[in-house]
Structure 1
């Protein structure tokens, strides 16, 4: 059976919903989608770090392309959770025995947390993993493009809210600060912090720590631009790989 291209499939779905977007915008959205897929090929780490002997976890970085702009989806952790309640994060969690790899973990968690079906997701790559402080996990960021239309159905036991942020927001210094965080045995860490005002929800979301680091890294990679604040652009892959190996060597 012939499978419709994403642009054609999206056009059909929008017509069914009674939504009319100019074909030029749809064409540009499709071209942007193909562009970021090609960019991610240069940064995809695949299974390169899979043999690091740490417990594994994954997060899904879900991208949406809306009217010629890239957006990134975030969730807010439920206040019912014991760890980091109310924090902004990406869908994700620990690998289970039934998960065959990092990608399956990320997809399963996204389905459980916000109702995102794997069939609606196109995986375009994996970024260099990060290591959580406590407990120790090797966290693999899985980057994906989500097919529209999508309506989040958050599990209230895990997720309090879901929101989108334009990716270029993370290149601006307007709502950016740095927090310095001291971890015994590993020294002082610089934590990127952003405050995003969602005018539709009338809320301000604090995006910080590993979540902010991944959002900023993805913005630099996919938009191919430097932030308006100090950021090491010299071989971002090598910088992040060295940071991971340095943290691991101190265990």
Structure 2
């Protein structure tokens, strides 16, 4: 491996190692595996690119009245998505720190079954092709939660998570969402 490539590899590896260490501190394991027979996992694929962690998104559909478990995976920096066009409309990357410092953001509140739910709505314009994407619902909440864990910073907007105790605050929030998941991204 060339000296230049080796020096570029160190910061990327450090980003990933730091993220893995922070994630490990917040892992709840199988604590909620008994709650629902309708269980799904959502992969939150991270990629270290241009000195930042990027979150890979695919445009997809979601099911409601289910327990959705976020699963974080790390992709090789040279990963090239090859989606099936019948299943995936588009694939794009968003810098993880965008979910703490977005250019376009708004909130909505929803009350369902007596629960007040904060809906985060991020609008991201991909600098590579100029396409604007809406990231909201459970996907936005998972992306924000991941950014809070890994980056450990407060966002520029009000949120429902407690940075001093992410596990406890997130448990209540995500259990409320078990009954409602209004996202298509």
| TM-score range normalised by the length of the shorter chain | 0.7 to 0.9
How far apart, CA to CA, are the structure 2 residues paired with 1:169 and 1:146?
19
Preserved contact between residue 26 and residue 67 of structure 1 (Cα < 8 Å) = no
TM-score, reference length from structure 2? 0.86
Preserved contact between residue 186 and residue 247 of structure 1 (Cα < 8 Å) = no
Label 1:246 to 1:207 Cα distance change in 2 as closer, same or farther (>3 A): closer
The answer to whether residue 125 in structure 2 is matched with residue 225 in structure 1 is no
TM-score, reference length from structure 1? 0.64
Q: 2:80 aligns with which of 151, 167, 172?
A: 151
Label 1:40 to 1:187 Cα distance change in 2 as closer, same or farther (>3 A): closer
Aligned structure 1 segments of 4 or more residues deviating by more than 3 angstroms = 20-23, 244-249
Q: Structure 1 unaligned runs (5+)?
A: 1-10, 78-83, 85-92, 94-131
Preserved contact between residue 75 and residue 163 of structure 1 (Cα < 8 Å) = yes
Q: Structure 2 unaligned runs (5+)?
A: 180-185
Higher RCO (C-alpha under 8 Å, 6+ residues apart): 2
Q: Deviations over 1:33-89 (max 9, x none)?
A: 111111111011221211113311111000000132100000113xxxxxx5xxxxx
How far apart, CA to CA, are the structure 1 residues paired with 2:178 and 2:126?
37
> Secondary structure of 1:29's partner?
helix
The answer to whether residue 168 in structure 2 is matched with residue 214 in structure 1 is no
Partner of 1:44: 27
Q: 2:38 aligns with which of 52, 55, 67?
A: 55
> Secondary structure of 2:59's partner?
strand
